[in-house]
Each structure stands twice: as C-alpha cells, then as structure tokens.
C-alpha cells in the first residue's frame, strides 16, 4: 500500500519517517519529496508498506498525530492521473 504523508516538519528525514511507520509493520520504501532546486523538503512524502492491513492501521493511528510540532496528514496515496500534468500538450 502506498501511503501519502503530508504536513511534515522540514527537518524530518526518510529514516525518521521509516522509524515511525515501522511500528505498524514492514516498510519497503520511504520517499520525502524535495525541491529540485534548493533540495529542501516540500513537507510531504510517501511510505510503501507491502501488507495493506498494516498500512490501514498506520493511517488510522498516525493521521493528525504530532511529529516534531506538526500534525501529520496520513492517507492512502492516490494514483497520479495522466491529465494532471499535461494540460497544454
């Protein structure tokens, strides 16, 4: 299950996020999205958990929970639609 995690403190690293989610089960990948020019975190990322039940439990338990002074927004990631990026092509 691919999980969206938003409203992250800018100092949170991928290892920090993995540690939080690992409490709920196996984590196969963690990716915090960063600005391609400055390299600074954009304050959101994605966590992949192979067992859906673990992912649902993590979402239920972690949504709106404070992590370093910011309440995380945690929900199932939506697939990127084809027309969201290519409006002018």
2-78: CATH topology: Alpha-Beta Plaits (3.30.70)
Q: What is the pTM of this model?
A: 0.87
> In Å, how far are 59, 86, 87, 89 from 82, measured between CA atoms?
26, 7, 9, 11
* 84: confidence class by pLDDT, cuts 50, 70, 90: low
So where are the chain's domains? 2-78
Determine the pLDDT at residue 89.
44
Task: Report whether 85 contacts 11 (CB < 8 A).
Answer: no
% of the chain with per-residue pLDDT over 70: 90
What is the number of alpha carbons within 13 Å of residue 87 lying toward its C-beta?
A: 2
* 80: confidence class by pLDDT, cuts 50, 70, 90: confident
Assess whether pLDDT exceeds 60 at residue 87: no
For residue range 12-38, list pLDDT tens digits in order.
999 999 999 999 999 999 999 999 999
Rounded CA separation 70/64 (Å): 9
Q: Enter the tokens of residue 21.
A: 């989610």
């Amino acid at each position: 299950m691919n999980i969206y995690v938003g409203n992250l403190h800018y100092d949170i690293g991928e290892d920090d996020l993995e540690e939080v989610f690992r409490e709920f089960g196996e984590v196969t990948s963690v990716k915090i999205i960063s600005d391609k020019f400055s390299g600074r975190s954009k304050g959101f990322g994605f966590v992949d958990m192979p067992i859906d039940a673990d992912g649902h439990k993590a979402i239920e338990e972690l949504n709106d929970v404070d992590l370093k002074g910011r309440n995380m927004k945690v929900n199932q990631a939506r697939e990127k639609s084809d027309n969201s990026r290519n409006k002018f092509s």
